[in-house]
Copies of this chain bind each other. A is one copy, B any other.
Amino acid sequence: MADRGAATKILLPESEMPTRWYNILADMPSPPDPPLHPGTKQPPAPEDLAPLFPMDLIEQEVSGQRYFDIPEPVLDIYRMWRPTPLHRAHRLEAALGTPAHIYYKYEGTSPAGSHKPNTSVAQAYYNRKAGITRLTTETGAGQWGSALAFAARQFDLEIRVYMVKVSYEQKPYRRLMIETWGGEVVPSPSRLTASGRRILEDDPDSPGSLGIAISEAVEEAAGRKDTNYSLGSVLNHVLLHQTVIGQEAQKQFALAGDYPDVVIACCGGGSNFGGLTFPFLYDRFTGNAPKAARVVAVEPAACPTLTRGVYAYDFGDTAGFTPLMKMYTLGHGFMPPGIHAGGLRYHGDSPIVSKLVKDGHVEAQAYSQVGVFEAAVQFARTEGIIPAPESAHAVKSAVEEALAAKAEGAPRTILFGLSGHGHFDLAAYEQYLRGRLQDYEYPAEMVEKALADLPVVPGA
């Protein structure tokens, strides 16, 4: 039976919920390079982004201001599930026989079951404030689409989600969440946009892709005055909104009288990672804490952006429509193997996160999915919660840290982000339990080919 000493959950009252978002651009020792317009190769002006985003979000995207007050209507919705619990993993510690203290910050208690609503609610609010009445977005398996549908409903916005057709057909559960919250889901490619029709003319049976869905959502938003586009990761303002996670964790550690030696989060586009870790990086950059935590970004070995990619300007999307971003990339034409952590299958990464890795402030690790699911099942059997496959990458890294502490016979305080539950990912667990889960080698040739297509940016 488990250690019955310290508290199992550290809870904050609503009155202790953070009231501002933290912008790490104010404190980075060296800021990231700016995005560039794909045609002019110059930084885009705010007006260039105005057809897609409200001015408040554009300002947050480019500002160096350290804090932004969270608007009261956004706080009011956060209170539906925030502050989220910080758990002490007593049972996992006991199973590992480690002297380490393992904590995890659990974001799966939100209505959508992940950290995504922290930004979807903010984005819906600012769009509504700007007089927008409709949103479009894309979604793969539906994690982001469901979070935005929840948020849109709270502000009486209509929403259309372009969902990759193969997911639309094979993974109905998150689609049904979107519809239950009143959102419209369109299988992509569709006949509603020129981009979609072009694809369907070539291939009426196209299974779709995230790149195509982005093109459709952006095209619709750009063409309608009442409609904006909303993105769930990568961009600076998205990471900004997620920093409530790490700020809460800091307060919870203060209550527990502890502080992490290492902070771990999985990293796809960077929003979960930035949300948990940026407030701890603030502590490190400003010497504000009793010790400087190591910060670790964990990614899949099958899509090893930070560990095997190059640091270069590249498109954010597959089709090459977006501004160029300076980031770690495997090439925008890279199509990752079909691992179950769909949220980590991204060729690029947040420019901020990329720069932090480049400058040595953040460590990057990559794990193969069989080992990741092994850790996830051990976690589920000790701590009860079945993790999302994305979050399971952080579990795996935390287990490795705890075993390292055991080997050293030294204490270590580990914090990791459990960004969501795996209720809609049980088919992946079944594959693991039946021994049918596959590991993928590092796809060296595919990456090499994709990198050969990087856009040329003079002088960069």
Contacts and interface: CB of A to CB of B under 8 A. Distances in A.
Nearest to A434: B179
A386 interface: yes
A59 interface: no
A151 to B, nearest CB: 10
A150 interface: yes
Contacts of A182: 381
Given A73-B1, A381-B153, A180 B80 contact: no
B8 A11 contact: no
Closest 9 CB pairs of A and B: A111-B384, A8-B79, A176-B426, A423-B423, A4-B76, A180-B429, A173-B426, A176-B430, A153-B381
Contacts of A180: 377, 380-381, 386, 426, 429, 433
Interface string A170-203: 0011001101111000000000000000000000
18 contacts: A2-B154, A4-B76, A9-B14, A11-B11, A11-B13, A11-B14, A80-B87, A80-B383, A80-B384, A109-B109, A111-B385, A176-B426, A176-B429, A179-B430, A179-B433, A180-B381, A180-B426, A182-B381
Interface in A180-239: 180-182
A381 B153 CA distance: 6
Given A80-B383, A177-B386, A179-B430, A7 B2 contact: no
Contacts of A253: none
Interface in A393-440: 423-424, 426-427, 429-430, 433
Given A79-B7, A381-B153, A172 B14 contact: no
A282 interface: no
A429 B178 CA distance: 11
Contact of A79 (B9, B113, B423, B424): B9
Contacts of A110: 384
Given A2-B154, A176-B430, A182-B381, 20 more contacts: A1-B155, A4-B72, A7-B14, A7-B79, A8-B80, A9-B79, A11-B11, A80-B87, A80-B384, A81-B384, A111-B384, A111-B385, A150-B384, A154-B384, A173-B426, A176-B427, A179-B429, A180-B377, A180-B426, A180-B429
A437 B172 CA distance: 18
A426 B154 CA distance: 20
B76 A8 contact: yes
A423 B113 CA distance: 10
Contacts of A2: 76, 154
Interface string A368-386: 0000000001001101111
A173 B172 CA distance: 13
A423 B426 contact: no
Interface in A319-341: none
A429 B177 CA distance: 9
Interface string A138-155: 000000000000100111
Contacts of A153: 381
Contacts of A426: 172-173, 176-177, 180
Contacts of A81: 9, 384
A385 B1 CA distance: 33
A173 B423 contact: yes
Q: Which of A8, A177, A430 has the most CB of B within 10 A?
A: A8
Interface in A1-58: 1-2, 4, 7-9, 11, 13-14
A261 to B, nearest CB: 24
A91 B91 CA distance: 37
B427 A424 contact: no
Contacts of A385: 111
A154 B430 CA distance: 21
Nearest to A384: B111
A130 to B, nearest CB: 15
Contacts of A111: 384-386
Nearest to A88: B79
Nearest to A156: B1
Contacts of A386: 111, 177, 180
A8 B14 contact: yes
A167 B91 CA distance: 32
A54 to B, nearest CB: 17
Interface string A105-131: 000011101000000000000000000
